[in-house]
């Protein structure tokens, strides 16, 4: 595989900077990554923009980003960041119950398009209209004291003791499950259509690499749990609970949940056009 592609231009592949992607990248981290594959690690919003600008060839992207670029991107098969119920790493911390946040000040993070649009959709369904502001939040002290609620995602949601500071910790994955009975897909793996057309052999090799890497991650989940515990300073039990609830597949139920989310966003005019899921075709 190295000999076949190493003389061509490197393939630029994105990686989410949170621990949730660790099972998918396990094998790549442990020596599976060939020299011709260049990894770019960043938060979801940065990867979204890099894909939109054509700066990387393949990347995990916020599912909403895929919806907005469906004409330019294809989906890689059987890869996602999803959950069926509580996800633990996408939460709204609040001084009030969810349905009492009408006209209240809610801080949104700028790292993930999907979680922001999911939260806005949930507020629309609950007929609440908060006052939204954008902020960067990693620690409780980052939230303005006069704010009523804040959206927290990724590693920050797991490692801080938010319940010491807020009366209500609302898990958006669970809220979606209660509303629809379906899994929620936060991120998918997208490929530039132009790359798929120009380098189909390299793309096929990369798909194989990712699936082998994810399989190795599943086989070594104990190591991933321990590593995440050390990195974030959380207990082994909490880390294990998190990865037990995390889903990295994109099977029929995840696809159904994704389609339901996109349909709801279109119905509420958050998306301007209907979304069709277009996957990489086998070579």
Domains detected in the chain: 2-82+184-267 (3.40.190.10), 90-180 (3.40.190.10)
User: pLDDT: is 7 or 144 the higher one?
Assistant: 144
Given a cut of 50, is residue 1 above it in pLDDT? no
Say how many Å lie between the first and final Cα of the chain, rounded: 16
Q: Which residues pair with 14 in a beta bridge?
A: 40
Distance CA 256, CA 252 (A): 6
Q: Which runs of E-coded beta strand occur in the chain? A: 11-16, 37-42, 58-62, 73-83, 90-94, 105-108, 131-134, 149-153, 168-171, 184-192, 246-247
pLDDT in tens, 184-207: 999 999 999 999 999 999 999 999
Cβ-based neighbours of 68, under 8 Å, separated by 6 or more:
271
Q: Judge whether 157 and 89 are in contact, CB under 8 Å.
A: yes
pLDDT in tens, 157-168: 998 899 999 999
Phi, psi of 138 (to 5 degrees): -125, -20
Which pLDDT band holds residue 8 (cuts at 50, 70, 90)?
confident
Phi, psi of 205 (to 5 degrees): -65, -40
Considering only CA atoms, which of 55, 116, 126, 63 is closest in space to residue 96?
Answer: 126
Q: Judge whether 176 and 75 are in contact, CB under 8 Å.
A: no
Given a cut of 90, is residue 154 above it in pLDDT? no
Which pLDDT band holds residue 6 (cuts at 50, 70, 90)?
low
Decide: residue 211, CB within 10 A, 0-12 exposed, 13-18 middle, 19+ buried: middle
Report the predicted TM-score, pTM, of the whole model to 2 decimal places.
0.93
pLDDT in tens, 69-105: 999 999 999 999 999 999 999 999 999 999 999 999 9
């Amino acid at each position: 595989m190295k000999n076949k592609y190493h003389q061509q231009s490197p393939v630029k592949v994105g990686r989410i900077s949170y621990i949730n992607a660790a099972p998918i990248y396990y094998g790549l981290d442990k020596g599976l990554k060939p020299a011709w594959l260049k990894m770019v690690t960043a938060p979801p919003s940065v990867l979204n923009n890099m894909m939109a600008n054509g700066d990387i060839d393949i990347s995990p992207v916020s599912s909403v980003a895929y919806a907005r670029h469906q004409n330019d991107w294809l989906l890689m098969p059987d890869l996602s960041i999803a959950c069926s119920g509580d996800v633990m790493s996408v939460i709204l911390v609040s001084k009030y119950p969810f349905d009492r946040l009408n006209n209240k000040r809610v801080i949104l993070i700028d790292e993930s398009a999907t979680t922001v649009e999911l939260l806005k959709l949930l507020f629309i369904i609950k007929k609440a209209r908060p006052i939204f502001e954008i902020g960067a939040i990693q620690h409780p002290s980052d939230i303005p004291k006069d704010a009523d609620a804040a959206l927290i995602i990724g590693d920050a949601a797991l490692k801080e003791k938010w319940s010491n500071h807020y009366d209500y910790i609302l898990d958006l994955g669970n809220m979606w499950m209660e509303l629809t009975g379906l899994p929620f897909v936060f991120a998918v793996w997208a490929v530039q259509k132009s790359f798929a057309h120009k380098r189909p052999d390299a793309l096929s090799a990369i798909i194989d690499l990712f699936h082998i890497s994810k399989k190795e991650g599943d086989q070594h989940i104990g190591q991933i749990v321990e590593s995440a515990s050390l990195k974030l300073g959380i207990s082994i039990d909490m880390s294990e609970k998190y990865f037990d609830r995390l889903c990295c597949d994109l099977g029929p139920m995840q696809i159904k949940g994704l389609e339901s989310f996109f349909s709801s966003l279109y119905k509420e005019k958050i998306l301007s056009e209907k979304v069709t899921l277009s996957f990489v075709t086998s070579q």
